Amino acid sequence: MSDLGDELQRIASEAAQEARPLPAAQVMRLGARRRRRRAARNAVAAAAVAGAIATGVLAGSSAGHSDPQRPASPVAPPTGPATTPAARSPAPTPTPTSTGQPTPSPSPSPSGGTPVPTPSSTPWALPGS
């Protein structure tokens, strides 16, 4: 097992000796290329979104208008046997019952204890003045 570790260390040291960093000009050129590609990709995406929005707006604005020269197509009568809808009985309506208690309000209201402070238009005003 130690032979494997020795072999890996030897390969790592050889690779480290042969490794050479890129020159600064090459690094800057690669960075500029990435920036140009990203800008081009973003421009294409923006154009695609603008085209989709324009298509949707144009389709929506023309869909609401009908051609006045073309008459509407008539609706064909149903071909099946005529059926009459079943008579519906009216739905029962609840009758109000008085229990002597007030109905609860939908929002909480303060009880008669302490007054609730109200916001002032002037932030430096003291409460109660």
> How many angstroms separate the CA atoms of 54 and 49, rounded?
9
Give mean pLDDT, residues 110-116. 62
Could you give the 3-state DSSP secondary structure of residue 43? helix
What tokens does 68 get? 């006045």
What's residue 98's pLDDT?
57
116: Cβ contacts below 8 Å, ≥ 6 apart: 110
- What is the tens place of the pLDDT at every residue in 16-29? 888 888 999 999 99
What's residue 18's pLDDT?
86
What tokens does 71 get? 């008459």
What's residue 31's pLDDT?
96
- What is the tens place of the pLDDT at every residue in 39-96? 999 999 999 999 999 999 998 877 655 555 655 566 666 665 555 556 566 666 766 6
Task: Report if pTM > 0.75.
Answer: no
Cβ(128)–Cβ(120) below 8 Å: no
Checking 37-44 for CB contacts under 8 A at 24+ apart, the result is none
Cβ(37)–Cβ(45) below 8 Å: no
